[in-house]
Amino acid sequence: MDFEVKRWMARLATDPDGFNFSLEDMAAKIMTTLTWDDPDLSVSCTKSAWGLLTQMSPGGPITNVITPLWDYLPGPINPWKIAEHKRHDEQQAYWLDNLHSVRRKMELGIARDSFTRRFLQTEKMQGLSGDHEASSVIGMMALVGIFTIGGPLNYFLVAMVFHPEWQRKLQEEVDRVCGDRMPTLSDSPNLPILRACIKETMRWKPNVPTGVAHEVEADDIYRGYFIEKGTKILPLDLAMLRNPNKYPDPENFHPERWLEPGWPTYQEPLTQYPTIKGMTSFGWGQRACLGQTLTQDEMMLACGGLAWSFTMKHKVGPDGKDINIDYMKSNSLLIVKPDPFQMAFEPRSVTRKQQILQNWADAEAKDLEERRGFEETARQKLVEQGLVAAASS
């Protein structure tokens, strides 16, 4: 995460207008590295994620709303089934190819740590099998980790543009704690304003506003309402996070609700709270999000890096006026993010821009050195084992 955030800061410093792409690409590179140790898969993985997200959302194919079109129109003349089978097959082949690629690297002794490597090691030790299902489970983790980060990050940018007073408070906190270096995860206890701005962003603009569907396991009565076993329920997160008793002035962005005594949501100690773990946005029970810690850490590093690196503001148009950001417009998919918008990323000083670029240059050089060292050590082991041909290939 630290590596990819530094890459993203450098991309923003050199190509700020491309932030709509580079933001999602950062999240995708983190997930494809965790999953397959290959950040170069980010573009193809993002494309695959968009296809899945569109297909599974009410705002996707019309068959998601008018289900008889899916059930009763014969397959050979059913355009929605034809398109979905094609998408599914391509995605499955993509996941299998990635799993096989990691297996080949393991055979050569040059596979670094990843979710896939850990599964394949377990498979070998326990005699497990089933590449098809395994590649799907692992691949799904990579896909889900892209937009669940991309949405909140986009809305964090919007919040900073429209609330420069909180951006200044955040920058002052980061400067006081971190000085001339970017924030790291170890700084988290000392950055309550950063955590409050992140949490308030996710309350103000929840990532999955309709929640994820659940099924009632037994007859129940809730506040006088009978709910029959098997009933499908949607926990409407948007409504929960706008309960005026718990969140006064719920429609507006108020990070202080997590920082100041007197607000219903205030908790101590501020070295631990606010935290996004446990928010309703992550769901409950067996369908609670597995990636809460990853989301928290990635948002912490990315938003902290933004505050340390840039002043985020409206972009000025050719007419000299600020280009409006309509943050009320978003996609209509299960996981939401604002419609594409324009904004400006102004390095906080000439020196800070140089630091941003140097941070990335140093991180890239260190990563390359570590990769070469790892591969050389692995090849040397193969040579010692008499597998020179395998090492050479």
CB-based burial, 99-134: b 16+ in 10 Å, e otherwise: bebbbebbebbbbeebbbbebbeeeeeeeeeeeeeb
d(CA 190, CA 270): 8
| Separation in Å, CA 142 to CA 24, 63, 146, 304, 387 | 13, 26, 7, 23, 34
Whether the CB-CB separation of 334 and 57 falls below 8 Å is answered with yes
Among residues 353, 303, 293, the alpha carbon closest in space to that of 5 is found at: 303
For 255-295, the three-class secondary structure string (H helix, E strand, C coil) is HHHHCCCCCCCCCCCCCCCCCCCCCHHHCCHHHCCCCHHHH
**Residuewise pLDDT in 10s, the chain (393 residues):** 999 999 999 999 999 999 999 999 999 999 999 999 999 999 999 999 999 999 888 888 888 888 888 888 888 888 989 999 999 999 999 999 999 999 999 988 889 999 999 999 987 666 666 888 899 999 999 999 998 999 999 999 999 999 999 999 999 999 999 999 999 999 999 999 999 999 999 999 999 998 888 899 999 999 999 999 999 988 899 999 999 999 999 999 999 999 999 999 999 999 999 999 999 999 887 778 889 999 999 999 999 999 999 999 999 999 999 999 999 999 888 889 999 999 999 999 999 999 999 999 999 999 999 988 888 887 777 776 665 554 444
**Which is it for strands 232-233 and 310-313: parallel, antiparallel or unpaired?**
unpaired
Give the start-to-end residue ranges of the domains of the chain.
1-150+367-393
The pTM is what?
0.92
CB-based contacts of 277: which residues, under 8 Å, 6+ apart?
292, 293, 296
